[in-house]
Amino acid sequence: MAPVMRGLSITFPPEAEATRAEVRRFIDEHAPRGDFPTDWNRRLAGVGYVAPHWPKPWGRDASALEQLAIDSELRASGCPRPVNPIGIGWAGPTLIAAGTDEQQERWLPGILDGSEMWCQLFSEPDAGSDLASLSTRASRDGDEYIVNGQKIWTTFAHLSTYGILLARTDPDATKHEGISYFVVDMRSAGITVRPLRQMNGSADFNEVFLDDVRIPTEHLVGDEHDGWRLAKVTLGNERVSLSGEGALWGQGPTADSLLDVVRDRGGVADPMMRQRLSRVFIESEVLRLIRLRTVAAQLAGIEPGPEVSVRKALADEHGQHLMALAVELAGTHGLLSDHGPFGVENEMWPLGFLYSRALTIGGGTSEVQRNIIGERVLGLPREP
């Protein structure tokens, strides 16, 4: 029996209660009274709760229903989870899809428990949305590859132990066919990481220079020259991850957060502002329904397809609408870096507003998402 969709929420069927009870017992046993031990992430990964949909022994081969049940209990308990978004969301699924047993055993445990942070070395100064035009080269030299090139917009490169890397291994092949997919140790000689300071003051992104970096051949994922196919696996997971509930690529505030502030401050009298608040709320509910539709499709055994581009295109613009409206409601307080709507002291609003400018670019621009929708969903002619 599948979960029942009631309005905008999910009601779990009786058979999900066994899973929920199991999760509650685990939390009560390992974190009594909400006291989470220092090795909590390792314990959580050990029972497959970090990525329950992954195959055993890394996950639980969980159905979509089981995943929902596990997630609901973990959320209800307020338990922490490993912070390794690129490793868990993108690198891990690709290693499961194409990695050898040895590669999985070497890297998946550290991904799941968050002890080894990962980054993604895909975009280049002249190859962003047209990623297949990348020019970073990997030349075979015995049992190693020698890599030279530059990557940019690499999130968490300054914190990462490993990275997934696309590099051209056959310069004479067509641009989609001469690319290979590697795992690179970010501590390797020849790697230089330089932070890119953002206008909100943080430096989550970096440019990365690779000068004669040596990568062992056993770090090649899949077959040589087959990297573009694997890149599409990674990017498909990326677009799902970047269109989650929060307004800032699945993180941060939501429309409900803003409406809570408005209600707490007595609402707004201006009918035009009320209409704009309603519009932002409607956008958030449409996105929520799309997510529930995706869940329903997975419960029916249907894998997500190009519709993830619809979610991302809508979610990015919604995030910008939401954050712009929040700063406008802040009035002159919007000029400060630590105040939000109605002067509420909370830095997430002004910082989120500045960060939201990047939403329609990162993870594939909105224009690229619309090309995918037009070509693969609507059947329109390909972009010239």
Q: How far is CA 306 from CA 132, 323, 382, in A?
A: 19, 27, 15
For the chain, give the percent of residues with pLDDT over 70. Answer: 88
pLDDT: which is higher, 143 or 68: 143
Among 238, 317, 345, 347, the active-site one is: 238
Q: Is the pLDDT of residue 186 over 80?
A: yes
The stretch 120-138 carries a mean pLDDT of 91
Question: What are the φ and ψ backbone dihedral angles of 4, each rounded to 5 degrees?
Answer: -95, 130
**170 three-class SS:** coil
The stretch 147-159 carries a mean pLDDT of 96
Q: Is the pLDDT of residue 239 over 60?
A: no
pLDDT at 128: 78
Q: Is 238 a catalytic residue?
A: yes
Q: Is the pLDDT of residue 270 over 70?
A: yes
Identify the CA nearest to 325 among candidates 340, 347, 346.
340
The stretch 59-65 carries a mean pLDDT of 87
Q: How far apart are CA 92 and CA 53, in angstroms?
A: 12
Give residue 7's pLDDT band: very low, low, confident or very high (50, 70, 90).
very low
pLDDT at 4: 46
Q: How far apart are CA 109 and CA 98, in angstroms?
A: 17
Q: Is the pLDDT of residue 5 over 50?
A: no
The stretch 343-353 carries a mean pLDDT of 78
User: pLDDT for 63-107, tens place per residue?
Assistant: 878 888 898 899 889 899 999 989 998 999 999 999 999 999 999
Residue ranges of domains in the chain, CATH in brackets: 4-77 (no CATH), 118-228 (2.40.110.10), 242-377 (1.20.140.10)
Q: Is the pLDDT of residue 207 over 60?
A: yes
* pTM metric for this prediction: 0.79
Q: How far apart are CA 95 and CA 72, in angstroms?
A: 27
The stretch 41-60 carries a mean pLDDT of 95
